[in-house]
Chains A and B, each alone.
Chain A
Amino acid sequence: MTIANQNQKPTAAQTIPGANVPKLPIYLDYQATTPCDPRVVEVMLPYFTEKFGNPHSRNHQYGWDAEAGVEKARAQIASLIKADEKEIIFTSGATESNNLAIKGVAHFYKEKKNHIITTVTEHKCVLDSCRHLELEGFEVTYLPVQQNGLIDLDVLRKAITPKTAIVSIMAVNNEIGVIQPLAEIGKICRENHVFFHTDAAQAVGKIAIDVDAMNIDLLSISGHKIYGPKGIGALYVRRKPRVRLEALIHGGGQERGFRSGTLPTPLCVGLGEACAIAEREMGAEAVRLKKLSDRLYKGITDKLEEVYLNGDAEHRIPGNLNISFAHVEGEGLMMGIKDLCVSSGSACTSASLEPSYVLRALGVEVEMAHTSLRLGIGRFTTEQEVDYAVEHLVQAVLRLREMSPLWEMAQAGIDIKSIQWAEH
């Protein structure tokens, strides 16, 4: 799929005339990245050409035009999460936002507090930031998750100490799509005077977020997960009660000193427009995606046995299905559905052969984790694409099960765990 053929409506499926086959390959990896919405690209383009100024040049028209674009975008982002535009800091992406939020708070408050709470299923960049802080002498508590992928609020409550500076819990998990109870977490944090940061890269624009109602103090946003461009993100930083941060990147003092560097005007504008579109269309889009997602799941489970959904069935975004296809290895399966672009585990680590740490944290057995695929659907996914995906996925699983010694054993009633497997 190549999106953004100028004349193409965003939701139109490209079809080969006369055949009921969607344009191939089909992109089903919307948690890895999303296509930039053609409407977003269109808004960005003038800022590449006639409005190319440096938004920090405050003494001429080129600079003012760029600045106006950036500030409009800031307001659009703020509006989507019910924040004030002064509370939005542009960054290069959610990874930087997460690094800045966690390291920034930890460093600023280190004289008084030295404890951080997060979960074992966070994105790598949150876990890596926490590990880095541990090396510096901070203490980190990694909360477990329940079998459904959600944290236990009582466990969180008990983990908070007078030394806790920040709780960082993601809003929506990138691999399994489950939504954490943000409002409840926010309430607990506020009662205990602990800052609450949430990595909302997979949540913003997909579920309603209200930073005040949810008592969120810091929130990370990614451009390319919400149909905006790559290379841009934002960090919401609450002003009342005020959150203070030590900057990661120093220099010209842009973004109120929190983040120096020339702002990439077209990218900022693109993120703003992506947020504005999401704010308008999120409700209807969620309904449409739920229908598609149900169709996908039903299509698979109607035709295949021993298929398991990972993560809570209710508390999840409609765009994500993480499924274990017992006795079929995920990478081998991906090769059998080469017209479907899906992911086995998260994109950042799928080049490695280790099974997903997120699935392991849910208590999914290693052998079952090896059989899992993440199917991500989104704004440009069509019913026709879903039907094609179901058909080909089912075919591939049936074929590979015929070739699988584990499936053969399972059919013969042999318990795979009873076998002494050799290490290799």
Chain B
Amino acid sequence: MYSEKVVDHYENPRNVGGFGKEEAGVGTGLVGAPACGDVMKLQIKVGADGRIEDARFKTFGCGSAIASSSLATEWVKGKTLDEAETIKNTEIAQFLSLPPVKIHCSVLAEDAIKAAIKDYREKTGSADKAAE
């Protein structure tokens, strides 16, 4: 029913936890809704070089949602914000072999990455972006 990769990420989730929201370089994305059965919190920590040096997540949801967010934290690490923004839900879904009814989990993970990046940019001011 669940692919091996989903089971692996569910049983050994990568990067569970969080950073202080006000910590320097941290961007937080909180997406989903309890009433829909899934909520993801994904945080990124951006280093001085503009690359994401670390990421954390917490997820309320099914195994596929947990796996999607766990995978997302792995994938964003080491990427620039622009690179991380290009991660597509279809890539997550394909990598985890999600069945059609679980595609929304990957969509949520993509949204979580984007929301975290947006939050980081808002906190650090648009100057950051303009400078690039």
Contacts and interface: CB of A to CB of B under 8 A. Distances in A.
B50 interface: no
A406 B62 CA distance: 14
B71 to A, nearest CB: 14
Contacts of B46: none
Contacts of A408: 18, 41, 58
Contact of B33 (A331, A355, A402, A424): A424
A405 B108 CA distance: 14
Interface size class of B (residues with CB under 8 A): 20 to 34
Given A403-B13, A405-B39, A424-B107, A332 B62 contact: yes
A408 B30 CA distance: 13
A335 B37 contact: no
Interface string B30-44: 111111111111000
B8 to A, nearest CB: 12
B121 to A, nearest CB: 18
B108 A406 contact: no
A423 interface: yes
A403 B37 contact: no
B107 A332 contact: no
A370 interface: yes
Interface string B15-49: 01010000000000011111111111100000000
B123 to A, nearest CB: 19
Interface string A395-424: 000000011111110000000100101111
B58 A404 contact: yes
A42 interface: no
A405 B36 contact: no
Contacts of A424: 31-33, 36, 104, 107-108, 111
A421 B62 contact: no
11 contacts: A332-B66, A365-B35, A367-B35, A405-B39, A405-B40, A405-B41, A405-B59, A421-B35, A422-B32, A423-B33, A424-B111
Given A353-B37, A424-B104, A424-B107, A335 B32 contact: no
Interface residues of A, number: 26
Given A403-B13, A405-B41, A331 B35 contact: no
Nearest to B111: A424
Contact of B62 (A331, A404, A407, A423): A331
A406 B31 contact: no
Interface in A363-400: 365-367, 370
A124 B58 CA distance: 36
Given A336-B10, A403-B58, 19 more contacts: A331-B61, A331-B62, A331-B63, A332-B60, A332-B61, A332-B63, A335-B62, A365-B35, A367-B34, A403-B66, A404-B60, A405-B39, A405-B59, A406-B34, A406-B39, A406-B60, A421-B34, A421-B39, A424-B111
Contacts of B39: 405-406, 421
A424 B40 CA distance: 12
A306 B59 CA distance: 18
A403 B16 contact: yes
Contacts of A407: 60
A329 B60 contact: yes
A74 interface: no
Interface in A327-364: 327-329, 331-332, 335-336, 353, 355
